[in-house]
Chain A
Amino acid sequence: MINNAVYTIAGGDYERGGSASKSLKDMLKKLGVESATVRRTMVAAYEAEMNVVIHAEQGSMHVAVDPSQVDVAVLDNGPGICDVELAMKEGFSTAPAKARELGFGAGLGLPNIKRNSDRFSIQSTPNQGTQIRFTIYLNAQQTRETALNSVRISRERCRECLLCLRACPTAALRIRDGGPHLLRHLCIDCTSCIAVCDAGALAMPSAEPLPTPADDSVLVIPGSLLSQFGDRVQTDHILEILAKLGFGQVRFLEEWDYALRAAVVLYSREASRPRPILSPVCPAVVNLIQVRFPSLLANVAPFLTPLEAVREELTAPHLCIVPICPSHHTALLPKCLLTHREVIQAKTMLDAITAQVSDSPPSDGPYGPAQVPRGVLQVSGMQHVVKVLEEVENGRMDYETILELYACEQTCFGSPVWKEDAFVTRARWHKEARVFTHRASALHRAGALSPRPGLRLDSDMARAIEKLGQIDEITHELPGRDCGVCGAPTCAALAEDVVLGRADITACAFRGSKKIPNG
């Protein structure tokens, strides 16, 4: 059950300022929400409401409540914020004297909203307006976003080929008891294991039938979807099919890719930024940095990934999204009550289009190259990404300004959901310079990225040192074949499993046999 409400906010009306928050408070009290939670919601809602009163002519507060959370969106048509990063800093304010007289304008409003909410995002376009969204969870043990991932396992399909063990960039997989076992705290939601698993034991969430779209549904697809149907099918034809299926309004994930790139280029002009700048284009790579390269977190430009930006920016009541990797799925997991979000599996979409597709005259022109501006280095494919991040960590790449790192080969065109070759489909997509009719935004990341403690052996450092010593000792005892027969990707990984109690040393079939010399 969801309770919805919309309250209008009149800009400049200081007398009535706070009335929307008051209505929200009354609603929460009637629903029996705990008083400490009401208080937090009120701080955030009142600050957001007064922002509208102070800066805009009019605005509205949209609220949705269910038994697990309160979602609030505050929209206005005000002057917008030129520099969201600056606005999020405590003490920065552009409030007029009138507001300051009333005790506002200390530059603490936005940080205050963020501090008092569990999820927070802000999107602002100069001269158009600002949109603040926040969520407050009603029970304390709500799962944190970072603790989730979306690789699905069907153990019975596993053929124990061990390919996934070698593919995983964070050594998060084990083959135990005849099937894959995922150490979820290490999994970064990339597609490496899915791409090598022909048996289908590791996969994306399973396909559901195509939903019937509402009249006002907005469909968000990756551009790569359009290039999966060969050279004889024009992309416009596919858009026609989508319209026939009920998806008249189509937006492309690439719109947010380009918006992010523009924002990162602007961000990079400031000389003080840590170099090279890592653009958060791919959520799996952001996860990788959090798990394996925490020292580089400061280099990640403070923006949301494109799919997160879609999630936070689009306020359409019905949103259908085609995610094409586990990290996309995970980004869509946090529930949003204000927008009804429907996830459509790439396979479902492909099948639905394929059923209706007919050959049409091929589109004009030869294949095109992906346009990457000077100063931006695009690297795709997990192996390359890991190498480049190692180079960056070793301080050997500081001359490059912006790095766009994608976990999949040829950017998202290489997602394993696609059957066509990534090089071909990407060139096909760039055959036509598609002009986007909508404007997408890059959204500032409100909270700093924190390292994921996945690799830490123990929360107590003294004990971690002890364990590291034990791991070294056991690793020396093991043959060093890294054969994977024990179910761990390397001998060192098995040693770690033994010390952390995840496996027994007897799992090694070659223990005591001749040691393979290192290197």
Chain B
Amino acid sequence: MTTTALRSPSRSRAHKRRRLVVRNIVVGWSFLLPNFLGFAVLTLVPVVALFYLSFTDWNIFGHANWIGLANFRRLVHDDSFRIAVENTIYYTAFHVPLTLAVSLGLALLLNRKMRGVAFFRTAAFFPYVTSIVAIAVVWNMMLSPEKGPVNHLLNVIGISHPPGWSTSTTWSMPTIIIVGTWREMGYFMLLFLAGLQTIPPELHDAARVDGASAWQRFRKVTLPYLRPTTFFVTVILTIWSLKVFDLILVMTNGGPGQSTLVLSQYIYKTGFENSEFGYASAVSVALFFICIFITAIQFYVNRRRNR
């Protein structure tokens, strides 16, 4: 189709296109670069270093001696590590479904036209923007076993032996889960609200015309349409739960005993308090793989359902 006469402009057009491609790549990269540089310097390099350190006995000063798998062998026999893993899984297993249910419930409740909806949405979001230290102090005071208002209230309604909350080994983890849920529900409610807005109202109208009950409409219309949001929330929530740290550190510091010791806190303790950075790195690597493993399962399940 091309004639000799047209060849030269076409070649220059191809040349132009190639220049455009290069230009686009350069522009693209230059937009990405600042972020990538920050990621590389602050995350990628340290993470690679972390993997290396987990095979050493580094204690911050002096040389990091290569000790092979010794740190990981020690992990297997470390009871505190086992307790930390169990507590982390305990927290995650209850915190994720509870937060999911509460934030979805709140989102459904606040996804309608009513008076003061903006106020209630803000109120639900408030815990998320409040300082974690303030949250821990106030909740600890409210749940104080002898002088706290919560147990006073429980006494009034006839419960003679209310729980010891954060001061009892059996109740400390449920307490952390409750406070953790209260703190994070607002953020995930916001994500669910955004998801709810994307559901076309016609679908609900059609279902209503067909005589579907509210529960049926929720199961057959709302939930399927929320799937992408639910998946995202579940993944993020699970990773956050596995890495829970600040709330526990300020509220119970892992106590009483080791009843709320979680992995992140164990890493902090072995690394920064006992100066065993090599071993702390090994625990971090273990946490990393637990996170990856659980997230991979979630992606797998999600993909199968999408089929």
| Binding between chains A and B | no
- Which residues of B are at the interface with A, using a C-beta cutoff of 8 A? none
- Which residues of A are at the interface with B, using a C-beta cutoff of 8 A? none
